Structures are given as C-alpha cells and as structure tokens.
Amino acid sequence: MERKEFIEKVGLSSASILIFGCMQACSKSDSTPTTNNNSGNQGTNKPVDFTINISVAPYLSLNAPGGFFVESTTGIIIARTLKNEFIAVSAICTHQGVNVEFQANSNRFYCAAHGSAFDASGAVTIGPATTALKQYKTSLSGSNLRVYA
C-alpha cells in the first residue's frame, strides 16, 4: 500500500468515526429528559385521569383510614383521611422535589427533607416550601377510586 493511499483510507475512516460519534451525541435519544413541573404528572402534559382498585395490591393501604399510597407513574399521593375521605395531591414537594408523605393524625402532607407541611388540600402550612401541592379530585365507586384533574 502506498503512503498516499494509506493516509486517504485512515483519514476517511477517522472522519467517519468522528461524524458517527457526533451524530450519536447529537441525537434526540440523548437529549435531557423533561423536567418535572411539580404538576404531579411527572412532567407530561397529559391530563390526570386514572382509576385504581383499592381492594387489590399495591393499593391495599388505602383500605383503612389513615393509609396512603404514592402512585409513582403519575407522582400523585392518594390518602384516606381518618374521616374516611380520599384526597390526592402531587407527591412532589414544591421546595426541592422530595416525595411527601401523609400524616393522618395531623391530616397533612409532610416532607421530611426540610420540614415543609401541606394541608389536606395541598396548601403550604409550614415552609420552606412556598407553593402549594397540586390537588386532584377523587371519586369512589365500589372499590374503584378515580383520581382526576
């Protein structure tokens, strides 16, 4: 192989590798995921509307007053209050995005990360969070609980 021919082949191969690498690095599949907008819907624009059967796993915690469940696909926390009412809000704390929990005895949502608390409708009662959790409607029919915007 002549020197000129060798350089042409190596040069072409290197250019191909660089172009291929750049195309992969710039492809859409590598783009940054959508950031969570604290809407309780994990950053999607789809309206929330789903139904769960609280008599089967993994929702059995909702069968007793005081129980709660975080629906991870939507980022919504559903709770059954001690007054036997179902409430649902975004599970994602508006301070820095940690999941909240339901504290039945205080009838509130609480974020253990920095101590923010939210009432049953999602309104801030204790900071540092300053923005309410988005509230969702609930409707129970038999053992089917619908959660919707």
Q: Whole-number minimum distance, CB 125 to ligand FES, in Å?
A: 12
The nearest distance, CB 134 to ligand FES, in angstroms, is: 15
Per-residue x/- track, 84-123, ligand FES (CB under 6 A):
---------x-xx-x------------x-xxxx-------
- Min dist CB 95 to ligand FES, Å, is 3
Closer residue to ligand FES in complex, CB, 72/84:
72
Q: How many other C-beta atoms lie within 10 A of the C-beta of residue 68?
A: 21
Tell me the closest approach of the beta carbon of residue 80 to ligand FES, in angstroms: 23
The residue type found at 139 is S
129 is an interface residue for ligand FES by CB under 6 A: yes
CB of 38 to ligand FES, least distance (A): 11
Sheet holding 101-103, edge to edge: 101-103, 108-110, 117-119, 124-126
d(C-alpha 142, C-alpha 1), whole Å? 81
Closer residue to ligand FES (CB): 11 or 115: 115
Contact call for residue 143 and ligand FES (CB under 6 A):
no
Residues 101, 68: contact at Cβ < 8 Å?
yes
Say which DSSP state 88 is in: E
DSSP structure string for 3-61:
HHHHHHHHHHHHHHHHHHHHHHHTSGGGSPPPPP-SSSSTT--SPPEEEEETTSTT-GG
Q: What one-character DSSP code corresponds to residue 149?
A: -
Number of residues that bind ligand FES (CB under 6 A): 11
What is the binding site for ligand FES (CB under 6 A)? 93, 95-96, 98, 111, 113-116, 128-129
